[in-house]
Structure 1
Amino acid sequence: MRPAHRRRPVAGLLLAPLLAPLLTGCFAADGGSTGAPGSGGSSDGARLRIALAFPPSENFSPYGADATLLSRLGVTEGLTRLDGNGAASPALAESWRRENGRSWLFTLRDATFQDGAPVTADAVAAALTHATEATPLPTALAGVKLTARASGDRTVRVTTATADPVLPLRLAGPSLAVLSPKAYGKKTDGKQADGKKTETAGKTETAGKKEAGKGSAPDPVGHATGPFTITKVNGSASATLDRFDDYWGGRAQASGIDAKFIADGTARANALRTGEEDIAEAVPVSQAASLPKGVAREVPTARTTSLFLNTRSGAFADPKVRAAARQAVDTSVLAKNVYEGYADPGQGVFGPALNWAAGLRKQPTGRAEPASAAAVKGTTVTLATYDNRPELPEVAQVLQQQLEKAGFTVKLTVRESSRIESDALAGKFDAFVGARNTMLDTGDPVSVLASDYTCDGTYNLALLCDRAVDRAVTAADAVADPEGRRRAVLAAEARILGTDAVVPLVHQRNVLGVATAVRGVLLDPYERAVVAPGTRR
């Protein structure tokens, strides 16, 4: 959590009842340091070596999956951030207040972009406006229309088309990071708009070779505000980051970061075990016990592994066949055997890390009767997943066995995430196993329902388009009262589960590998942050 001496009584904190804790516990830096802004030291500490599970898949665009990668490496920030209790706390905005039902006024702190430009109200308004014009729209803006305007040098007015009681939570989404105006300028031959050259190699390059016009992705390299700035990208293999000495929250203690993208979980664990890496994310549970004492750090998360069934085409377009598949799945086997106790059996879209959900959860509504065993016998379906999270292929194999026992014929496909996710979203598989942190994008549970399960959702792996679900999600979004909003969220969850478009399998507890010499690593249930100014070795 942010240290007490950094907090101020701000207008935004008047929302405390609404932005009440969503998660159990409070994430903090491991090893006795808060790791929060202001805790950075002045020494030239050793560079940090980090093994990440997912490579950049969208040229480091902050508008898609790479947004979280940027925030985890300490590159980008938004106006707000989430603390470990799920409440909005200050980031580039030091305070905020709600002016009326649709308008909020954010007061900016004194900060500098990594290219030397000051963080101004005009720059912030332009960055938010560009995000609203992106294609596809950032997940944090699903179902929301907003405008941002400078109101003086240090204040930005954000207005939404309809009342949005959780706007400060929404603006904490990694996809709404604030970048310098130069990030959106025209670039040619790897030269940035300011004339500086960005080193790239391999197939994956930054957005620096694209014209960042309306709707296109900006270039975060050298144009963000976080404590670390990207200086080199080596395709999908690695990236080099240096400390940003003018970071508003204090100079980082580590002089930089050397990040490697290692999809194989065992390889990540081995790199940590042999001392090649200081930090390894998503350590396979099968490897956790073999790590030295104190290296495997268990992190309770809001991540749910689910089976998504294609409701648009193929065998699972029939709700009775989906119900038969759901009935065939035994989630307790997955939690106990595949995850070796580092997970809980699936309860719903939202798991036990959201401590308010259990007492309010409703039974699924509107479920179809399962098709008979005779009706599904011999039905061929394709089941796909990715191997960046090493348990997922094993989960898929167990599901294959369970579905085949019920009479299905299952063809299994496993690929790296960046090579399979777009196919899943395009409906090229009958079923897909994916792991999703349900609070990752905004911290507001309504947003993940809108993104993942509505007709206009931008991350709808089940391709679900059910008007009753859309109405339930819209109704939940209209409720401002915290308790009422939670009840409406779980009513919408019950409607979604009733379609059998998704079968929640397990709620995960991630394992982060941290060398014993490293201090200040963030154990974040939202999985948005790993390093901070105080992270060091």
Structure 2
Amino acid sequence: MPHRRPPRSQRPARRAHRAFPRPRLLAALLLTPLLSACFASGNGGASGGSGGAGSGTRLRVALAFPPAENLSPYGADATILSRLGVTEGLTALDANGAAAPALARSWRRENDRTWLFTLREAAFQDGTEVTPSAVAAALTHATRARPAPAALAGVTLTARPEGSHQVRVTTGAADPVLPLRLSSPSLAVLSAKAYGGKDGRVDPAGTGTGPFELTEVHGSTSATLDRFDDYWGGRAQASGVDARFVADGTARANALRTGQVDVAEAVPVAQAATLDAATRRETATTRTTALLLNSGSGPFKDPALRAAARAAVDTSALARGVYEGHADAGAGIYGPAVTWAEGKRLRPAGRARAATPGGAEITLATYDNRPELPEAAQVIEQQLEKAGFRVELVVREYSRLETDALAGRFDGVVLARNTLVDTGDPVAVLASDYTCDGGYNLARLCDRGVDRAVAKAEGTADSAGRQDAAMAAEAAILGTDAVVPLVHQRVITGVATSVKGVLLDPYERVLVGAGTRR
């Protein structure tokens, strides 16, 4: 049965806004187009008014990833909610990867472990107010989630209301990038109603703060969103969003080409040429496709066999062949879109000498939501077999693969991962993906040298110094051969010529916003 929200006539009446100190309303309304312009396609930002072209037209969007966790805000589904304009955090990321205002209009650091965030006047989609108590409660729920959101990997966080319009956030250890961390889609602020489920499930339907309200969810096939008229950033120009979850990339491209949808994310490289040039948008992203080798069990527990696998892989062949030039050969965990990384990259040290595979049997897995991955995995399979491995390839839809991958049931996984999606902090992905306690450690890596290098990076406050420490940690991780960077992707988004204001985000956190319209 689909999840349905009650009709508006049966919902609580909107409460009057409070009058705590804030910028004048005009300034608040003007902030949204400023933020949207960070990633906009140059066709306009949000409008604070109700008129304008397309103000009553719904958007039709095809997304690549069906919900894997019942639209929980704490895992991979969090980006579905943020990309559809349902949820927001205290902060956002600007085009340069710096923290920008969202539900918090400003903040200041009181000491090494404490930050004070000043909230803007805003409402939740269920009609209740965004209060310091509500924000503190939402962040507290996130700290108690299991598994922990990737943005909180290794972080102890306490949030408490302060007065009528501020929240004080304290961390167990110094956290110089806390404003970046709080921009994570997995730390979105939801109303108290979201956390009332008896089964512990967090329900984002009608409890977010974004320009669009989730009203119906039809399992893993589609979702319906209506415009949230009380959005703090101004009334959205589209009346709603009809989202379809289409795992097959060819089907997404066909839906755009035949006019069934207005926006199709992650168009396959092989389908790009079938679209009119005016409907193709290519965006350099911080996404890296990598081969993750299970270093905790099986054949790749042996560093010498991991070294053999790494030596067998020809990344340039993947960039030229599978990705048809729409990607760069793997250089490291961070790719060219992380503009500062290349000049700071260090040579991996301590690599084991490659052994002869001798017919070692391995299971290689990937998913088909990103259509290039199965083809890339087939090329990797051939390269590994040529080197002397015996390979079984498993391809599934991502939601059916993740649990087994996290449990270490495969010897290798070909994964596309946005290295800055969780927090915008380059160190966060290292902590979540490659440390002993990492919550998304598909490589099952537990190396004390790596943990020390990541911890040093986490404790470095200076921006340039943190980047240097992150690159030292990257070198330590690559030295274990638990991860083999394959390519750094550019994402192709299909956008109908009638659509304006799509948010082409290098961090892949947003797609439609208040200014998106047709």
TM-score, normalised by the number of residues in structure 2: 0.92
Contact 1:283 1:513 survives alignment (8 Å): yes
Q: Could you report, residue by residue, the CA deviation over 1:193-224 in whole angstroms, capped at 9, with x for unpaired residues?
A: xxxxxxxxxxxxxxxxx433xxxx42111011
CA distance in 1, matches of 2:493, 2:326: 12
CA distance in 2, matches of 1:276, 1:141: 39
Match of 1:46 in 2: 57
3-state SS in 1 of match to 2:278: coil
After superposition, residues 272-291 of structure 1 pair within 5 angstroms as: 272-291=256-275
The structure 2 residue matched to 1:521, chosen from 486, 502, 506, is: 502
Contact 1:362 1:490 survives alignment (8 Å): yes
CA distance in 2, matches of 1:524, 1:112: 25
Match of 1:411 in 2: 392
The structure 2 residue matched to 1:389, chosen from 338, 348, 370, is: 370
Aligned residues: 486
The reply to whether residue 311 of structure 1 matches residue 295 of structure 2 is yes
The structure 1 residue matched to 2:122, chosen from 95, 106, 111, is: 111
Match of 1:134 in 2: 145
After superposition, residues 222-241 of structure 1 pair within 5 angstroms as: 222-241=206-225
The structure 2 residue matched to 1:184, chosen from 191, 195, 217, is: 195
Unaligned runs of 5+ in 1: 11-25, 187-209
The alpha-carbon deviation at position 44 of structure 1 amounts to: 3.5
3-state SS in 2 of match to 1:99: strand
Aligned alpha-carbon RMSD (Å)? 1.5
Contact 1:92 1:111 survives alignment (8 Å): yes
3-state SS in 1 of match to 2:432: helix
Task: Give the letter aligned to residue 255 of structure 2.
Answer: A
Contact 1:41 1:534 survives alignment (8 Å): no
CA distance in 2, matches of 1:28, 1:39: 21
3-state SS in 1 of match to 2:203: coil
The alpha-carbon deviation at position 6 of structure 1 amounts to: 5.2
Match of 2:199 in 1: 211
CA distance in 2, matches of 1:365, 1:378: 27
The structure 2 residue matched to 1:163, chosen from 134, 149, 174, is: 174
The reply to whether residue 480 of structure 1 matches residue 461 of structure 2 is yes
Overall identity of the aligned pairs, in %: 69
The alpha-carbon deviation at position 153 of structure 1 amounts to: 1.1
Which of structure 1's runs of 4+ aligned residues deviate more than 2 A?
5-8, 37-45
Match of 2:4 in 1: none
The alpha-carbon deviation at position 426 of structure 1 amounts to: 0.5
Contact 2:124 2:191 survives alignment (8 Å): yes
Q: Could you report, residue by residue, the CA deviation over 1:103-162 in whole angstroms, capped at 9, with x for unpaired residues?
A: 000000000000000000000000001100111111100011010000001000000011
Contact 1:53 1:281 survives alignment (8 Å): yes
The alpha-carbon deviation at position 28 of structure 1 amounts to: 2.4
CA distance in 2, matches of 1:367, 1:294: 47
Match of 1:512 in 2: 493
Shift in alpha-carbon separation, 1:113–1:232, aligned structure 2, 3 A: same
Match of 1:338 in 2: 322
The reply to whether residue 439 of structure 1 matches residue 420 of structure 2 is yes
Match of 1:207 in 2: none
Match of 1:452 in 2: 433
CA distance in 2, matches of 1:412, 1:442: 32
Unaligned runs of 5+ in 2: 1-25, 32-36
Contact 1:472 1:492 survives alignment (8 Å): yes
Match of 1:329 in 2: 313
The alpha-carbon deviation at position 377 of structure 1 amounts to: 2.2
Match of 2:43 in 1: 32
Match of 1:200 in 2: none
Contact 2:28 2:233 survives alignment (8 Å): no
Task: Give the letter aligned to residue 142 of structure 1.
Answer: A
Match of 1:359 in 2: 343
CA distance in 1, matches of 2:160, 2:447: 36
CA distance in 2, matches of 1:450, 1:347: 20
Shift in alpha-carbon separation, 1:259–1:380, aligned structure 2, 3 A: same
Task: Give the letter aligned to residue 244 of structure 1.
Answer: F
The alpha-carbon deviation at position 185 of structure 1 amounts to: 1.6
Match of 1:21 in 2: none
The alpha-carbon deviation at position 38 of structure 1 amounts to: 4.4
The alpha-carbon deviation at position 29 of structure 1 amounts to: 1.4
Q: Could you report, residue by residue, the CA deviation over 1:433-469 in whole angstroms, capped at 9, with x for unpaired residues?
A: 0000000000001111000000000000100000000
3-state SS in 2 of match to 1:420: helix
The alpha-carbon deviation at position 40 of structure 1 amounts to: 7.1
The alpha-carbon deviation at position 32 of structure 1 amounts to: 2.1
Q: Could you report, residue by residue, the CA deviation over 1:78-122 in whole angstroms, capped at 9, with x for unpaired residues?
A: 000001110100000000000111100000000000000000000
Shift in alpha-carbon separation, 1:344–1:242, aligned structure 2, 3 A: same
Contact 1:111 1:248 survives alignment (8 Å): yes
The structure 1 residue matched to 2:161, chosen from 150, 160, 183, is: 150
The alpha-carbon deviation at position 405 of structure 1 amounts to: 0.5
Match of 1:20 in 2: none
The alpha-carbon deviation at position 365 of structure 1 amounts to: 1.5
Match of 2:483 in 1: 502
Shift in alpha-carbon separation, 1:6–1:380, aligned structure 2, 3 A: farther
3-state SS in 2 of match to 1:500: coil
The reply to whether residue 347 of structure 1 matches residue 331 of structure 2 is yes
Shift in alpha-carbon separation, 1:470–1:222, aligned structure 2, 3 A: same
3-state SS in 2 of match to 1:457: coil
Contact 2:61 2:242 survives alignment (8 Å): yes
Q: Could you report, residue by residue, the CA deviation over 1:145-200 in whole angstroms, capped at 9, with x for unpaired residues?
A: 010000001000000011100000000000000000111124xxxxxxxxxxxxxx
CA distance in 2, matches of 1:269, 1:53: 11
The alpha-carbon deviation at position 31 of structure 1 amounts to: 4.3
Task: Give the letter aligned to residue 211 of structure 2.
Answer: P
CA distance in 2, matches of 1:427, 1:266: 30
TM-score, normalised by the number of residues in structure 1: 0.89
The alpha-carbon deviation at position 289 of structure 1 amounts to: 1.4
Task: Give the letter aligned to residue 350 of structure 1.
Answer: Y
Contact 1:392 1:433 survives alignment (8 Å): yes
